[in-house]
Amino acid sequence: MRRWIKFVGLAFTSLTGLACLIIVAMLAIILGNIAVHGWPRLSWEFITGQPRAGMTAGGIFPAIFGTAALVLLMTLAVVPLGVAAAIYLHEYAWQGSKLVHVVRLALANLAGVPAIVFGLFGLGFCIKFVGAGMDRAFFGGALAFGQPCILWAALTLAVLTLPTVVVATEEALRAVPRSYREVAYAAGATRWQVVRYVVLPQSVSGILTGTILAVSRGAGEVAPIMFTGAAYYLPYLPVKLNDQFMELGYHIYVLTTQSPDVEATKPILYATVFVLLVLTFALNLTAVLIRSRIRRRLRAG
């Protein structure tokens, strides 16, 4: 009987280990397949050049630039807001209050909203409401901001990544030992002084993690930007807030479905996917490493 239990135990344990292995294998297969097909086409010219000959030659620089500009704008919007909200939740608010409860509920739900609904939000609120209103008020009815552009796409993505930043910041704030704060309060510091001079400096790496994760998410999402600003072929780079932009993820989607010559664009397609993957991968890996360093420090200290 005991041997039977031991056998089942072993089988069960290996089953769970196998599940882990399968998941790791899935990741490896995707990365491997894309790397193998995408690496050969990669070159300096590819990253810095313009697309040519109907996307069958040349590079993807405008898409890279557009993605970078988009994500930069998004970060400028989401990080201050997210960090401030997290500071309120953790440093200022009384934990039992109704407001805290509702905010946390809202955050959890915001994280679960489908990406395409964010796209609808961008269209219905940013473009058709705020943008159209701005056009009426400041531009005398001309079409300036009441159309898809990088500003609205960035704002839409900012709302999408807000939960990521808030959660990561809160985790960072929680990691700062209470004793630090208590010492500061005892010395007569005000709440803001404690936050500004004691807590925040200690939480920088955690906030950075959150920012990096948000950037990675923002660079990868396509559905929210499909109707709020991304374009397939633009002969210029986005320089004004109401310009449209090319973007890596959207470029992949369009190339997969609309390229003129499927065989000719396949190498470019794979290479573009590879670039996007390497980008998000590098960002995620950095964030993960920073986070595990923080957690290790937390456990030790």
Sites for other proteins among residues 226-245 (CB under 8 A) = 226-227, 231-236, 244
How many residues bind other proteins, per CB under 8 A?
Answer: 115
Among residues 242, 226, 206, 175, the alpha carbon closest in space to that of 82 is found at 206
**Mask for 251-280, x = binds other proteins (CB under 8 A):** -xxx-xxxxxxxx-----x---x--xx--x
Q: Does 45 bind other proteins (CB under 8 A)?
A: no
Q: Does 151 bind other proteins (CB under 8 A)?
A: no
Specify the residue, 8 or 241, whose C-beta has the smaller distance to other proteins: 8
Select from 64, 77, 79, 89 the one that contacts other proteins (CB under 8 A).
89
**Mask for 110-149, x = binds other proteins (CB under 8 A):** xxxxxxxxxxxx-xxx--xx-------------x---x--
Residues 6 or more apart in contact with residue 130 via CB below 8 angstroms: 145
Select from 70, 173, 283, 294 the one that contacts other proteins (CB under 8 A).
283
Q: Does 286 bind other proteins (CB under 8 A)?
A: no
Contact window for other proteins (CB under 8 A) among 40-48, 69-77, 197-205, 284-292? 284-292
C-alpha to C-alpha distances, 29 to 24, 52, 179, 288, nearest whole angstrom: 9, 31, 47, 21
- In whole angstroms, how close is the CB of 111 to other proteins at the nearest point? 8
Residues 6 or more apart in contact with residue 23 via CB below 8 angstroms: none
Task: Kindly tell me the burial class for residue 181, based on how many C-beta atoms sit within 10 Å of its own C-beta (0-12, 13-18, 19 or more).
Answer: middle
Cβ(169)–Cβ(82) below 8 Å? yes
Select from 42, 93, 144, 175 the one that contacts other proteins (CB under 8 A).
93
Positions in 164-193 near other proteins (CB under 8 A): 166, 181-182, 185-186, 189-193
Output the six-digit token pair for 297. 């420090």
d(CA 291, CA 263): 42
Torsions phi, psi for 188 (to 5 deg): 105, 10
Positive or negative: CA dihedral 122, 125, 168, 204: positive
- In whole angstroms, how close is the CB of 43 to other proteins at the nearest point? 21
